Amino acid sequence: MSLFHKQPKVRTRFAPSPTGYLHIGGLRSSLFEYLFAKSNKGVFFLRIEDTDQSREVEGAVDNLLKTLKIVGIEPEEGLFIDSEGKVAEKGHFGPYTQSQRLDLYQKYAQNLVNDGHAYYCFCSPERLAGLREKQEKSKKPTRYDGLCRNLSLEEAKVRIAKGEKYVIRMKMPENRDIEFEDMIKGKIKFNTRELDDQVLLKADGFPTYHLAHIVDDHLMETTHVIRAEEWLPSTPKHIILFECFGWEIPRYAHMPMVLNTDKSKLSKRQGDVAVEDYLAKGYLPEALVNFVALLGWNPGTEQEIFSMAELIKEFSFDKVHKAGAVFDIKKLDWMNGEYIKKMDLDKFIELAKPYLEKNIGDDVNNIAEKELVKAYELEKQRIFKLSEIGESVKFLFTESFDYNPQILVWKKSDKAVTIKNLKSLSDELSAYQEEGWTAKELEEKIINFVKDNNLTNGEVLWPMRVALTGQEKSPTPFEVAEILGKEKSLKRLEIAINLLK
Ligand code: GLU
């Protein structure tokens, strides 16, 4: 026999309830669970917690797993999306869907009753509602008053045989201190006086979350339960349940809340919460993962851009904050922009194409392939998310643009001067060769032209840019002129002069 205990292999799980989509908070949970498992050479698995049938949404599991796959958080065990794009399951601890494990929960609930750790409760929903109302009125904590706690097992069985409806409740020990060490929150202490006799098995035979996840985490050999902070107050109940069963208690990590900028809990009312909505807007999966990793975790250095491999290497719970993490969309935009800038041009074009086609419509065919690529290049440097593509280069695709000529006049200039400058600029540009018609050369030459004629950049470059684009905001006039080419650029200067006249 070895003198050393074998360290159990780390096993973490993501255990979502299929309520329709993957929430940003769920992405963060699954990411931390994944990173922790991977950085410890452990296993990350996926279990579906669907015991609240009233919250079921058709297609939710499929959608959830697909979103996880897109962002690169793929479970090694449990439910996953197979090579044909279908929901499948692998691993030795299945089934991994709770609604397929009901007999197990019923058996374990019975065991608790037989061992005196739980009891049958026959109180009607009406009685419980009345009790609750009274407690609320007198500002007392709302909890079960223990009416059925001391019924004998024989008596309970007689009532069950008569067909009375019942639930199974946990028999919370009286006045016991429960202490545990949370990997994020540190030492946590509760007294059982603060805890309710939790329902474990409902009248319809379905377990509650409390019972089901404990049975599963034991049978599926979960070593670390990493979950949202909202579960922290229930954890002492869970610890007691593990004890009642005589099972080993896993380690816990309760993650800080994700907050809106006003510090309220991240909610639909203030913006998107579904990961799929962010993906649809053209946030890149890598950028989303990177951003979400920094919601509550800090590497302890200045580094902000992390690949998944780097995250796995760097992640640890001692660098996760206790306090809530603000979801700052501006930071996500910045980060996504960085990923877009670094991306390979071909890949960018492939991903951005559908967005450009949507934003520009059929006009997208109005320019030649070479110019189109240049437009992509320009936008790649500027946009924060793919859905923004086209906004600043719309003018490239249209022949007949319409704008208020007043915007051609720079703020420190006037109409007559603008016409004069556009005319001499047009003469200047006519003399340039097609060959050197690049942003870089145009910039050099035009800046010299401005100087040589004792003009200012503002009074020449502003109307030039507006003439070429018809917009007050756009890329530089040199970049635009390069893409338009000599002929189109001169034509647009002429249009501007005519408009001003
Ligand atoms: N089904 C629970 C939820 O979606 C899981 C909590 C846990 O990870 O234990 O909140």
Exposed e or buried b per residue across 30-56, where buried means at least 16 C-beta atoms within 10 angstroms of its C-beta: bbbbbbbbbebebbbbbbbbbbbeeee
Q: How far apart are CA 47 and CA 282, in angstroms?
A: 29
Q: How far apart are CA 455 and CA 413, in angstroms?
A: 11
What DSSP state is assigned to residue 195? -
Range 336-359 average pLDDT: 97
Phi-psi region of 368 (alpha: psi -120 to 50; beta: other; left: phi over 0): beta
Range 129-142 average pLDDT: 95
What confidence score (pLDDT) does residue 1 get?
47
86-112 pLDDT tens trace: 999 999 999 999 999 999 999 999 999
2-14 pLDDT tens trace: 455 566 799 999 9
How many whole angstroms from 69 Cα to the centroid of ligand 1? 19
How many whole angstroms from 15 Cα to the centroid of ligand 1? 5
- DSSP codes of every residue in 129-194: HHHHHHHHHTTPPP----TTTT--HHHHHHHHHTT---EEEE-PPSS-EEEEEETTTEEEEEEGGG
Range 407-436 average pLDDT: 95
Range 193-217 average pLDDT: 96
Residue 213 has pLDDT above 70, yes or no: yes
Range 278-305 average pLDDT: 96
- Residue with CA closest to ligand 1 atom 2: 16
What DSSP state is assigned to residue 47? -
Residue 469 has pLDDT above 70, yes or no: yes
Q: What is the CATH number of domain 405-500?
A: 1.10.10.350
- Catalytic machinery residues: 268
For ligand 1, whether the C-beta of 49 sits within 6 Å is yes
Picking from 107-111, 315-319, 388-392, 490-494, which range would have the lowest pLDDT averaged per residue?
388-392
- Residue with CA closest to ligand 1 atom 9: 227
What confidence score (pLDDT) does residue 183 get?
97
The pLDDT-based confidence of 293 (bands split at 50, 70, 90) is very high
Range 360-381 average pLDDT: 92
E strand or H helix at 421? helix 415-430
Q: How far apart are CA 193 and CA 413, in angstroms?
A: 78
Q: Report the 3 state secondary structure along 77-137.
A: EEEEECCCCCEEEECCCCCCEHHHCHHHHHHHHHHHHHCCCEEEECCCHHHHHHHHHHHHH
What confidence score (pLDDT) does residue 20 get?
86
Best residue for ligand 1 mutational test, from 231, 234, 235, 254 (most atoms within 8 Å of Cβ) = 231
Best residue for ligand 1 mutational test, from 14, 184, 213, 252 (most atoms within 8 Å of Cβ) = 213
Range 19-44 average pLDDT: 96
Q: How far apart are CA 492 and CA 501, in angstroms?
A: 14
Range 324-333 average pLDDT: 95
For ligand 1, whether the C-beta of 418 sits within 6 Å is no
Q: How far apart are CA 95 and CA 89, in angstroms?
A: 8
Report the mean per-residue pLDDT for the chain.
94
Q: How far apart are CA 257 and CA 25, in angstroms?
A: 8
- Residue with CA closest to ligand 1 atom 5: 15
Q: Report the 3 state secondary structure along 303-350.
A: CCCCCHHHHHHHCCHHHECCCCEECCHHHHHHHHHHHHHHCCHHHHHH
Residue 360 has pLDDT above 90, yes or no: yes
Let me know the angle formed at the C-alpha of 35 by 40 and 251, rounded to the nearest 5 degrees. 65
* Surface-to-core class of residue 433, CB atoms within 10 Å of its CB (0-12 exposed, 13-18 middle, 19+ buried): exposed
Tokens coding 387: 């859905």
With pLDDT > 70 as the criterion, what percentage of the chain qualifies?
Answer: 98
How many whole angstroms from 16 Cα to the centroid of ligand 1? 5
Do 378 and 479 contact (CB within 8 A), yes or no? yes
For ligand 1, whether the C-beta of 238 sits within 6 Å is no
Residue 499 has pLDDT above 90, yes or no: yes
**414 vs 1 pLDDT, higher one:** 414
Residue 303 has pLDDT above 50, yes or no: yes
**271 vs 452 pLDDT, higher one:** 452
How many whole angstroms from 313 Cα to the centroid of ligand 1? 26
Indicate which atom in ligand 1 lies nearest the CA of residue 14: 8
404-413 pLDDT tens trace: 999 999 999 9
157-175 pLDDT tens trace: 999 999 999 999 999 999 9
Do 448 and 432 contact (CB within 8 A), yes or no? no
How many whole angstroms from 209 Cα to the centroid of ligand 1? 8
* Surface-to-core class of residue 179, CB atoms within 10 Å of its CB (0-12 exposed, 13-18 middle, 19+ buried): exposed
What confidence score (pLDDT) does residue 7 get?
67
The pLDDT-based confidence of 330 (bands split at 50, 70, 90) is very high
Q: What fold does the segment set 101-255 form as a domain? A: Rossmann fold (3.40.50)
What phi, psi does 124 have (nearest 5°)? -80, 155
Best residue for ligand 1 mutational test, from 101, 217, 227, 252 (most atoms within 8 Å of Cβ) = 227
With pLDDT > 90 as the criterion, what percentage of the chain qualifies?
Answer: 88
What confidence score (pLDDT) does residue 271 get?
74
For ligand 1, whether the C-beta of 91 sits within 6 Å is no
